Structure formats: structure tokens, C-alpha cells
């Protein structure tokens, strides 16, 4: 691997065509990166090249195009394993995103692990994708969900953790970083305490992977999920990493081609992981695009990027907090560059609409984290989230647009 280059903001911005469109006659300030990131030319070119020169199905063909597509696809599995610090590529399962990855664990591992009266511990800051699958599973088998409380500063109340890790708790589900608040959770500590109680940990890494180094072995988790589109890759692709011994004992999540060893009308037997969990034709071009995104990120000094993003977050937090009537939600000591706030006397959707008219793209709503909104007693927030290509000018335009919106709405 080549040494990463020092971070050059202007060069990076030139790599992302989507940043250079106009919205309502204004240059775009794209601050919705927690929802999805813009894509560099390297990713767009990799997807196009796959369809132009290697357009074939994978694994099952003996002809040259199929062999080339298979090689490209499986090379990304090795890339992802290295990105996550996995011990082997076979621990990497490709999915359609974080949502499917967590549903896979709930449906395959969870359905075997849970029985009536068992408990699943879920943090109060979770995205719906790491709550609803456990609700569905618990309702099916007669298990129960316990809540690891969220404190008003935006951190989890770990003083309650050991009490909640009961002898009937089988799974703990938590986010590495909150999509609504930006909170970075002490995942290694939580997973170690869970493991000591014989509880399996499922970590939603969708918001963390774009900003923080991820080493699943150092984190000590059992499952880790992420989405390509939040780390500058295509939509419709995600990753489930799982401990090899757990994956080997899990039944298939979906049935179809590729996930089998043999099939007869009497019975079927299953392929080894990860193919066991990858039924049907996958998003081949999307996976190749993910590989291009990871390669792109490897070429940039990640410490420089994180420092840049956190500087933007600090400036935005300072500037918005200084506006009378603007309240920042949560103040955890460790964050990814995500900032949620409300404007007193104005609904977040109205604020977001007025910001859009000035070319500033933010997210408004409950961010698929309604329990977080309920904890703070608000229906929704405005969320600004920063990526490696954002600038101080973007931050200033956000602050100015919020100030202008206040003049209209309050």
C-alpha cells in the first residue's frame, strides 16, 4: 500500500463532481453526509468500467468476463477485511447495507440464540435499523428488549450496564457512533463487559467508518455492520463482519443460488460463510465501487482528514450556539462530525427548506432515531454533518442561512 498523501482540500473537492452543482441558483454546500456522501470520480469510473469491460455474473461462470468480474469482486472482500482489521476475508459478508446486515444477524443468529424470556439490550440512541429488527425478533420468540439509557449530554449511562446484562441477556446492540448526536461510544469497554457476561455484541458502524479507524478485533465485538454509501461508495452495498465461529454456526438468511452446497427435492446443504449469506446475484458493480472508495480513502492521510472534520464541527458548534434561540442537542465529549440543533419557534422542516433555498443541504426530521427525539422532548432536529470535502465557507454559509431563517420564521 502506498503511503497516504497529506490532505489537500482543494484537490479533494475537485475529485467530487457532485459538489459543483447549483441549487436554486446557489453553489451547493452539502452538509448531509451522515445520510449519504458524495462520490469521487474514482468510484464513478470503477462502476462504469465494471459494466463496460467486465459485465458478467460472478462465481458461476468459466468464461473470461465472469472470471475477471469474480476476481474484482473478491478482491474487495480482502480490502474490506483489511479496512476492518478482520483476521480473514471469509468473515466479510456483502449485504445491501447496514440495515440488511443487522437484519441478517437478528434473523440468522438471533432466531437460534433467543427463546421465550430471554432479553436483548439495545442502547437508547440507536438508529431504527438497530432497534426494529430486535423488536420483530423478540415479538416472534417471546423475548424482551431492555434499554441502555441515554443521558442528556448525549452519552450512554454505563453505570446501568452491568445491571442490565442479566443472566437472560443474549445480545447487546449498540452504535459505534450515533447518527443523530454524533456520540462516539466506548465500544471496546462495552463489548468487553458484555463478553464477560457471555453476551454477544452487534455494533452498527454506519456513522463511524467514514471518520474513525475501525479494528474489529481491538473493539472486541462479535458483529460489525456498515454501509458503502456513507464512506463515499455506492448505495445499495453494505458489509457485515462477524466472528468466524459464529458465522459458521449460523443458518442461511435467504435461500437461492450461490448460498448452497447441494440441492435436491429432499434437502439442501449450505455453502461455507460468507457465500452462505449471499444468495442470488449481488450488487457486483456496487461492491467494486466500494473497493474504489476504500482505495481512494487510503490515499489520503486519515488523521489529517479527521482533524479537518473536527475543526469544521467545532466552528459550526461555536457559531450556531452563539445565535440566540438556537439550541445544540447533546454535548458528548467524543463525537464524529455530526451536529443536531433546533431553532426555537421554528419547525426543523421549515428551517431545512429555507436553508435549501440558499444552497445549504442539511437533514431534518427524527433521523430514524425517534427514541432519541423522545429523550430530548423534541419532534425533530436539523442535522448538519460534515465530510472530508467540506470547507469553512460551508460552515459560514450554514450559520448565515440559519440566521436568515430565524428572521423569517421567528
Predicted confidence (pLDDT) per residue in 102-161, tens digit: 999 999 999 999 999 999 999 999 999 999 999 999 999 999 999 999 999 999 999 999
Q: Which of 273, 298, 323 is the last residue of a domain?
A: 298
Number of domains in the chain: 2
d(CA 123, CA 125): 5
Q: Confirm whether 132 is domain-assigned.
A: yes
Which candidate, 251, 102, 101, places its Cα nearest to that of 173? 102
Q: Confirm whether 2 is domain-assigned.
A: no
Are 104 and 206 in a shared domain?
Answer: yes
Q: Which of 298, 326, 357 is the last residue of a domain?
A: 298
Q: Confirm whether 163 is domain-assigned.
A: yes
Q: Which of 298, 328, 353 is the last residue of a domain?
A: 298
Q: What is the mean pLDDT of the chain?
A: 97
Q: What is the pLDDT of residues 146-202, one digit of tens each?
A: 999 999 999 999 999 999 999 999 999 999 999 999 999 999 999 999 999 999 999
Are 30 and 57 in a shared domain?
Answer: no
Q: Confirm whether 3 is domain-assigned.
A: no
Are 144 and 20 in a shared domain?
Answer: no
Are 292 and 376 in a shared domain?
Answer: no
Which candidate, 224, 153, 162, 160, places its Cα nearest to that of 187? 224
The answer to whether residues 342 and 311 touch, using CB atoms and an 8 Å cutoff, is no
Q: What is the CATH number of the domain that holds 22?
A: 3.90.1150.10
Q: What is the pLDDT of residues 16-75, one digit of tens each?
A: 999 999 999 999 999 999 999 999 999 999 999 999 999 999 998 999 999 999 999 999
The predicted pLDDT at position 410 comes to: 85
Are 19 and 73 in a shared domain?
Answer: no
Q: What is the CATH number of the domain that holds 103?
A: 3.40.640.10
Q: What is the pLDDT of residues 319-363, one digit of tens each?
A: 999 999 999 999 999 999 999 999 999 999 999 999 999 999 999
> In whole angstroms, how far apart are CA 340 and each of 31, 133, 149, 161, 381?
12, 25, 19, 26, 6
Q: Confirm whether 127 is domain-assigned.
A: yes
Q: Confirm whether 233 is domain-assigned.
A: yes
Are 69 and 28 in a shared domain?
Answer: no
Question: In 3-state terms, what secondary structure has residue 140?
Answer: helix
Q: Confirm whether 181 is domain-assigned.
A: yes
d(CA 297, CA 309): 14
The answer to whether residues 346 and 306 touch, using CB atoms and an 8 Å cutoff, is no
Are 257 and 404 in a shared domain?
Answer: no
Q: Domain range holding 346?
A: 9-39+301-409
Whether the pLDDT of residue 6 is over 90: the answer is: no
Are 343 and 289 in a shared domain?
Answer: no
Are 144 and 254 in a shared domain?
Answer: yes
Are 362 and 254 in a shared domain?
Answer: no
Are 210 and 318 in a shared domain?
Answer: no
Q: What is the pLDDT of residues 381-391, one digit of tens each?
A: 999 999 999 99
Measured on CA atoms in the order 333, 33, 305, 78, is the torsion positive or negative? Answer: positive
Q: What is the pLDDT of residues 287-316, one digit of tens each?
A: 999 999 999 999 999 999 999 999 999 999
Are 272 and 328 in a shared domain?
Answer: no
368 is a catalytic site residue: yes
Amino acid at each position: 500500500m502506498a503511503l497516504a498523501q497529506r490532505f489537500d482540500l482543494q484537490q479533494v473537492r475537485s475529485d467530487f463532481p457532485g459538489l459543483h452543482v447549483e441549487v436554486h441558483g446557489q453553489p451547493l454546500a452539502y452538509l448531509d453526509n451522515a445520510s449519504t456522501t458524495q462520490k469521487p470520480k474514482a468510484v464513478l469510473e470503477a462502476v462504469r468500467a465494471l459494466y463496460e469491460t467486465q459485465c458478467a455474473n460472478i462465481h458461476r461462470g468459466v468464461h473470461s468476463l465472469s472470471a475477471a468480474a469474480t476476481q474484482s469482486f473478491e478482491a474487495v472482500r480482502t480490502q474490506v477485511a483489511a479496512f476492518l482489521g478482520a483476521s480473514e476475508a471469509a468473515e466479510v459478508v456483502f449485504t445491501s447495507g447496514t440495515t440488511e446486515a443487522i437484519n441478517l444477524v437478528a434473523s440468522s443468529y438471533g432466531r437460534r440464540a433467543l427463546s421465550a424470556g430471554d432479553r436483548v439490550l439495545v442502547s437508547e440512541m440507536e438508529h431504527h435499523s438497530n432497534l426494529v429488527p430486535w423488536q420483530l425478533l423478540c415479538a416472534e420468540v417471546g423475548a424482551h428488549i431492555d434499554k441502555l439509557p441515554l443521558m442528556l449530554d448525549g452519552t450512554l449511562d454505563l453505570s446501568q450496564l452491568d445491571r442490565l446484562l442479566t443472566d437472560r441477556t443474549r445480545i447487546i446492540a449498540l452504535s459505534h457512533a450515533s447518527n443523530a448526536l454524533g456520540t462516539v461510544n466506548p465500544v471496546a469497554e462495552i463489548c468487553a463487559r458484555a463478553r464477560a457476561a457471555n453476551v454477544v455484541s452487534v455494533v452498527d458502524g454506519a456513522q463511524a467508518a467514514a471518520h474513525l479507524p475501525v479494528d474489529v478485533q481491538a473493539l472486541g465485538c462479535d458483529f460489525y455492520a456498515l454501509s458503502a454509501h456513507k464512506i463515499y461508495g455506492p448505495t445499495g452495498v453494505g458489509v457485515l463482519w462477524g466472528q468466524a465461529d459464529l458465522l459458521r454456526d449460523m443458518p442461511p438468511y435467504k435461500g437461492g443460488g450461490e448460498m448452497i452446497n447441494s440441492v435436491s427435492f429432499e434437502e439442501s446443504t449450505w455453502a461455507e460463510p460468507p457465500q452462505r449469506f449471499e444468495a442470488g446475484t449481488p450488487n457486483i458493480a456496487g461492491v467494486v465501487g466500494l473497493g474504489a472508495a476504500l482505495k481512494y480513502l487510503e490515499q489520503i492521510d486519515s488523521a489529517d482528514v479527521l482533524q479537518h472534520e473536527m475543526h469544521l464541527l467545532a466552528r459550526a458548534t461555536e457559531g450556531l450556539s452563539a445565535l440566540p434561540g438556537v439550541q445544540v442537542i447533546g454535548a458528548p465529549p467524543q463525537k464524529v462530525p455530526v451536529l443536531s440543533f433546533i431553532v426555537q419557534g421554528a419547525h426543523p422542516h421549515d428551517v431545512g427548506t429555507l436553508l435549501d433555498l440558499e444552497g445549504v443541504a442539511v437533514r431534518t426530521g427524527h433521523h430514524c432515531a425517534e427514541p432519541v427525539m423522545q429523550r430530548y422532548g423534541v419532534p425533530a432536529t436539523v442535522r448538519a454533518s460534515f465530510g472530508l470535502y467540506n470547507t469553512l465557507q460551508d460552515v459560514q454559509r450554514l450559520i448565515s442561512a440559519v440566521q436568515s431563517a430565524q428572521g423569517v420564521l421567528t
